[in-house]
Amino acid sequence: MTETFVTAQPLAVPRVELPDPPQPAVTPEPAAAPPVVLRACTVATRAQLPAVRVLTTSFLGNHQDGQFIALVVDADPDAAGPGVLTPADIGVSTEELHRLATACTARELCAVLQPRLLAHLIGEGGPVLYLDPSVVVLDSVAEQVLTAAARVPVVLVPRVLRPLPRDGRRPGPAELLAAGTFDPGFLAVTPGAEEFLDTWAEQVREAPDAAGAFLDGAPALVDHHVLRDPGIGVSAWNAGQRAVRRDEAGTLLVDQTPLRTVHFAGFDPQRPWLLSAELADRPRILLSEHPPLAELCAGYRNDLVRAGHTAHPVAYRFGTVGDGIPLPAQLRRDWQSAQGADAAPPPAFGVTAAEFLRWACAPGDPIQAAAGGSRWAAALWREDTALRERYPDPFDGDAAGFREWCAGAGVATGRLHPGAVPRADAGRGPILIDQLGVSVVGFGPEAELLRAAVRASGLPSADEPSYPVVLRCAGAPTPPADRYVINVLPEPGARPGPASELWVASDSSRNALQRTGWPPVRTMPLPVVDRGAVDADSRAIARDRVGLADGVVFAATVDHSAERQGNALGLVAAFLAAFPDRHDVHLLLLVNGAQQHPEAAERLRLATAADPRIILVEESHGDTLLDAADCVVSLHRAEGVPGDRTALVLASAATRGLPVLATEAGAIAELLGSDAAMLVPCHPGGREPDAQSAVRLLRAIADNPETAAKLGAASREFLLRTRGVAIAGEQVRERVEQAFRAWRTRRAAARHGHGEDPLRPLQSAKHALLRRADPGVESRMPMAPQLRKAVLRVLSHYDNHLREVLNAVVDGVERTASELARRQHEIESGDLGGQDLTAEVAELTDRQAQLDDQLVGVDDGVVRARADLAAQGRRMRTIEEAVTSQSSTRDKQVAELADRIDRLTIALDRTLDRIDDLESRMAGSLRERDSRLGAGIRAAEEARSTADSLRRVVLREHQRTTVEPADAPQSSVVLTEAGLMRLPSEDALMLPLLSSNGVWQPEVCALIDSLLEPDGVFVDVGAYIGYHSIRVLSRLGASGAVVAVEPSATARELLRRNAELNLPGPIADRLAVLDVAAWDTVTTLGVRPALSGGISVYEAEADAEVERVQAVRLDKAIEALPEISQLRLSVVMVDAAGFSHRALGGLVRLLRRDRPHVVCSFAPRAITEQGADPIAVLQEFRVWGYELVPVGSDESREPAEIVQLADARSGLGSALHLWLRPKDRRS
């Protein structure tokens, strides 16, 4: 069905024609300026159009010469009309609208477009008043607004005139702070506010969820006036501070001031007892305590209903994606946050909708990717508190449960797109290739250099952890646990993680990283790649990019994450000292990490801002800008973890033929050396580079650039000869082979059982030294704890001395054993030769001898301690004697207890004998019962056979004695529980079931029997051949009545014949048959044959040439029956799966009057095909005062549960029967 968006007529702006002024007889004076017309506007969605109509009527009713304009943010492009604008009319393109609609919810999109609408309107001149769609104007505000607007460009209205108390009620001070002090629902602007509106539009576009608080800064941005009229802007925020009352004339007043506008923000017509449904818990205002406000709310609800408000408003055009699945607000914010990335995701609407779905269903980070998650599922989890509590770790520990929820309830309730369900097959690592090979994983220049070395080594390689040996570089995820992982160039200060080795590029870094308990650290010099020497063209292009021409250029890389070690400020000071007045030299600083370390970046900017010769490049530049330099400089400090990565950058520059000037310390000096760089010495015994030496070298390079160029060429030749890819490849192959052998050994040990840690007993013994005697142990000896404490205090000096000595001994033994274990591991891995091990063992033997000497010196303390322990031993023996005396008494008690246990055992044996006897008797009873049951089953089979024979006899006799009229429809007779029934011969559903079973819908029949009232009316909508009608009427007799509604002429004819055949005349007269279709309006409906017999109705186009039937409202049709109108409805049966709600909609007045029970069929798929929402239909039933109970159950269910049950039932080929139980009546 096509939905038509009609707003032009309700929002049409009246045009008032003014008569021409009379011509004076004398010389005319200059004409007076035309009066200022107050124009008002609002921004709304299509769902808010009823509120907009109410606002328009109230504003124009109190401002006869005013104008009103509405911007509908989700209107169709061709929906503009008088008084109605679309986003395109104010300059918002379709592409921009799609981007805004993706980032914003409906409320946020209205807030984003509000300043743009105001800017558009004041461009046409005159003041403009913005009113929120939920505002109602009760009196003119023209004088207040126009007077203020004549003085300032912006007029604001505060939400409150006094502070809100902190009493736990809502709204409170915290909510006011979040929403903003000024009410954006009442705002006036005039020409002169353009800059303010542009700033407002820009701010809310960047942060749509914080649009409400922007006006708090308006007083600092623009001249303004605050309207403090208590009669303007009465709302849930301030109604507790502004008492609304009526005077004797009936005028609404607020503090002696006329009530001019009321802001019904948050008002829900379905819950009119609340001023704001958003503040349902602990509201500050109770309408029961404020009758005038309650009267205003009731009137506003009636106005909304008259203006077209329904329980099912028009859906927000940008609220769903894909197959009508709502777009989560958190996913909108994630999309907005991703717009600053290099690959920004496309909008969710328009031609890029499919691309957006692919983005939303893809993982957003490595953690989600490892668990098979998606951005949509993650956003849904973050915005749902219940999900966060139920699945605290959705992409790791709780991944399986969260995945099950997504695939089940998440998709079934329409909250999650099926493509966004986390995949169960994610997170599986690559298959292990058990052969010699190496995997290089990670990113960055060191990873590329390693890959080049591996290619040169001839080893099989991969970019994922497929081989046993894995070289893990920066940015790589954690490899599988069964790999031999080697971390390459770890970050300074970072823990090694699950690594078997650490590789660094220099011995300096190795010495800095070696720690007890860490993996072995090995030096693996990385290769240099020949990228060619810098030529004149490359240098000219690089200098042109940074705005440099001729002259000498020094370049340096600056990493703000290591500001002190990098010593960029020291380099700047040396440059300024070396060239205080030369203008032909420049310093080019290529900066990384400025955004992450703003303080360091600002320090460097201020240090270089005064000298135009120093150029800072803070954006991404790579290494190509180094080609602009005549010399690359690094005056780093000799402290902390040496910079291997900085050394690699300088080595790469040197291979381009650029001379390098660096501090003679750390990894840079070690990797480059005096053969490849000019080195600046450090101060003797210090870590600072010698500034004077650096100044001299800088001047020498600037004075003799040709000599520096020759040095650069020599450095290039040296590095390529000593650090080439082939040499590094041999080193990498050798180390990878050793690692592979170690991995095979470790794997074999793991398969055949791995022994315990040899240091574990020693560590356990070491912990024993921390134990102290507990003087508080229970004892029967009087004053025992006090005596123990006294002894411990006396011996504390010797005890502490002995503990210190033993701690020192155990620590030494532990270090010795640890070193022996480590050396043994290296021998097993092939790391050390036998001679080295012999030397280490000899050294350790000497150390152990020294420890033995230390033990001799503590003998005296040990002897004294033994004497003290002997005294304590005597006391312990005394305690043992006391315990022994007590144990004899307890032995007697144990003997008595054993005797009692023997007696209980005898009683238990007797009980078991009785149980065995009962079991044998029970078995006999069961055999006898099974025999009787078999006989009963046989008798039942015989009775069923006899009944079938009698049924056939009755049918043959009926056919023999009954003469069918010539014009009677073709029918077949079956014998049922309700009697002999004629059904259409073409019936493919009911006829076979009744022929074989004789019963139709037994659960429904049982429920109807339990709900019938003797003097009530049973309404059967979709009665067909009258099975339920005749069955119920036979039970009611002459005290009740039945109304059968059936639009099919054939079915009605068979219904009347079945009634004559099965009911006595007086009782048959209590049956009223309506030859119409039940509907919620009076209309005509199209009919078509039903697959199971009879007909089905549908809404046909007005000009369609189809067979039609009259449709009426049942409440009026039943009241028109004189013999039934005075009776009370008891049960209503509706058998129209896709149209039950439409039939009941025409009976709602009698449903509310008589509160009958309703039994209806419910098929969500058929309801959806008719353009309705099944959830909304069920909620409407609940609004009527009914509980939703599936037939066969006694418990009410939520609408979502009913829809799930109905969907499951439809998969089995049948519709769900629903019992609508009145809340105020229980059967």
Digit-coded pLDDT (tens) for 57-79: 999 999 988 999 999 999 988 87
CB 1112 within 8 A of CB 1079: yes
Domain that holds residue 568: 536-723
DSSP, collapsed to helix, strand or coil, labels residue 1017 as strand
DSSP, collapsed to helix, strand or coil, labels residue 1051 as helix
Task: Look at residue 1097 and tell me if it is in a domain.
Answer: yes
Q: Are residues 197 and 292 in the same domain?
A: yes
What per-residue confidence (pLDDT) applies to 945?
67
Residue type, 649: V
Domain boundary among 306, 335, 369: 306
Task: Look at residue 428 and tell me if it is in a domain.
Answer: no
pLDDT (tens digit per residue) in 916-960: 888 888 888 888 888 888 888 877 777 766 666 666 666 666 666
**Helix and strand numbers, DSSP H then E, in the chain:** 41, 39
Tokens linked to 1198 = 């939520």
Q: Are residues 1005 and 1087 in the same domain?
A: yes
What is the band of 1 on the pLDDT scale with cuts at 50, 70, 90?
very low
CA distance 727 to 732: 9
CA distance 950 to 975: 10
Specify the range with the lowest mean pLDDT, choosing from 618-632, 766-780, 1078-1092: 766-780
CB 166 within 8 A of CB 176: no
CA distance 198 to 209: 18
Q: Are residues 334 and 270 in the same domain?
A: no
Q: Are residues 451 and 328 in the same domain?
A: no
Task: Look at residue 1086 and tell me if it is in a domain.
Answer: yes
Q: Are residues 276 and 416 in the same domain?
A: no
Per-residue burial over 1049-1085, b = 16 or more CB atoms within 10 Å of its CB, e = otherwise: ebbbbbbbbbbebbbeeebbebbbbbebbbbbeeebb
Task: Output DSSP code: residue 374.
Answer: -
Q: What is the DSSP string of 1159-1172?
A: EEEE-HHHHHHTT-
How many structural domains are present in the chain? 6
Q: Are residues 276 and 372 in the same domain?
A: no
What per-residue confidence (pLDDT) applies to 263?
95
Q: Are residues 95 and 235 in the same domain?
A: yes
CA distance 1161 to 514: 77
Rg (CA), the chain: 46
Q: Are residues 298 and 367 in the same domain?
A: no
What per-residue confidence (pLDDT) applies to 96?
93
pLDDT (tens digit per residue) in 102-161: 999 999 999 999 999 999 999 988 899 999 999 999 999 999 999 999 999 999 999 999
Q: What value, to the nearest 5°, has the Cα angle with vertex 720 and ends 714 and 721?
A: 90
Bigger pLDDT: 991 vs 587: 587
Task: Look at residue 647 and tell me if it is in a domain.
Answer: yes
Task: Look at residue 904 and tell me if it is in a domain.
Answer: no
Bigger pLDDT: 343 vs 342: 343
Q: Judging by beta carbons within 10 Å of its beta carbon (0-12, 13-18, 19+), is residue 136 exposed, middle or buried?
A: buried
What per-residue confidence (pLDDT) applies to 101?
94
Q: Are residues 472 and 553 in the same domain?
A: no
CATH code for the domain in which residue 1113 is found? 3.40.50.150
CA distances from 732 to 444, 455, 549, 957 (A): 18, 10, 43, 102
CB 1202 within 8 A of CB 1162: yes
Average pLDDT, the chain: 83
Q: What number is the average pLDDT over the span 1018-1038?
A: 88
Q: Are residues 840 and 693 in the same domain?
A: no
Q: What number is the average pLDDT over the span 866-885?
A: 59
Question: How far is CA 659 from its chain centroid?
Answer: 54
Specify the range with the lowest mean pLDDT, choosing from 85-99, 139-153, 395-409, 893-907: 893-907
Bigger pLDDT: 1007 vs 506: 1007
Task: Look at residue 1069 and tell me if it is in a domain.
Answer: yes
- Neighbour tally for 746: CB within 10 Å: 18
Q: Are residues 1004 and 1135 in the same domain?
A: yes
CATH code for the domain in which residue 231 is found? 3.90.550.10
Tokens linked to 864 = 């004294």
pLDDT (tens digit per residue) in 651-698: 888 888 999 999 888 777 777 777 778 899 988 766 789 999 999 999
Domain boundary among 281, 306, 331: 306
Phi-psi region of 657 (alpha: psi -120 to 50; beta: other; left: phi over 0): left
Phi/psi of residue 359, nearest 5 degrees: -65, -45
What per-residue confidence (pLDDT) applies to 984?
86
Bigger pLDDT: 321 vs 516: 321
Q: What value, to the nearest 5°, has the Cα angle with vertex 1157 and ends 1152 and 1161?
A: 110
- Neighbour tally for 897: CB within 10 Å: 10
Whether 448 shows a pLDDT value over 80: the answer reads: yes
CB 1109 within 8 A of CB 1084: yes
Q: Are residues 397 and 545 in the same domain?
A: no
Domain boundary among 846, 862, 886: 886
Task: Look at residue 27 and tell me if it is in a domain.
Answer: no
**Residue 21 exposure: Cα atoms within 13 Å on the Cβ side:** 9
Task: Look at residue 175 and tell me if it is in a domain.
Answer: yes
- Neighbour tally for 319: CB within 10 Å: 16
- Neighbour tally for 1189: CB within 10 Å: 19
CA distance 1026 to 1034: 12
pLDDT (tens digit per residue) in 1183-1212: 989 999 999 888 999 999 989 888 887 765
Q: How many residues does the chain have?
A: 1227
Instruction: Answer whether the bond into residue 171 is a cis peptide, omega within 30°.
Output: yes
Phi/psi of residue 24, nearest 5 degrees: -70, 155
